[in-house]
Amino acid sequence: MESVPNTTCTVPNTLMRRGDVVMVAMAGGCVAERIVWSATADLVHVCSLATFEKLSRDEPAAQPIAFPRRDVQGVEEADCGAICA
């Protein structure tokens, strides 16, 4: 996987940085804890901790998944509701 620059963006009241733990709104109304890989003005690319660690070591891993920034919240902001695995 090619290297992605360490980017940040402001999600309402939150500055998103690579490595930040966030809660992501998933299908079915639950949320999942994920790690930020990169962010743009519109999207936040997230992955699991295991994937984040592999990508950080330039090892083969699944690509981070892009979510609309409105569906991503910093852990301290999240109303967790139903948690997904």
Q: What average pLDDT score do residues 68-82 get? A: 67
For 51, the 3-state DSSP assignment is helix
Q: What average pLDDT score do residues 38-67 get? A: 94
Q: What average pLDDT score do residues 41-61 get? A: 95
Q: Residue 69 pLDDT > 50, yes or no?
A: yes
In the CATH scheme, what is the code of domain 9-74?
2.30.30
Tell me the pTM: 0.72
Q: Residue 53 pLDDT > 90, yes or no?
A: yes
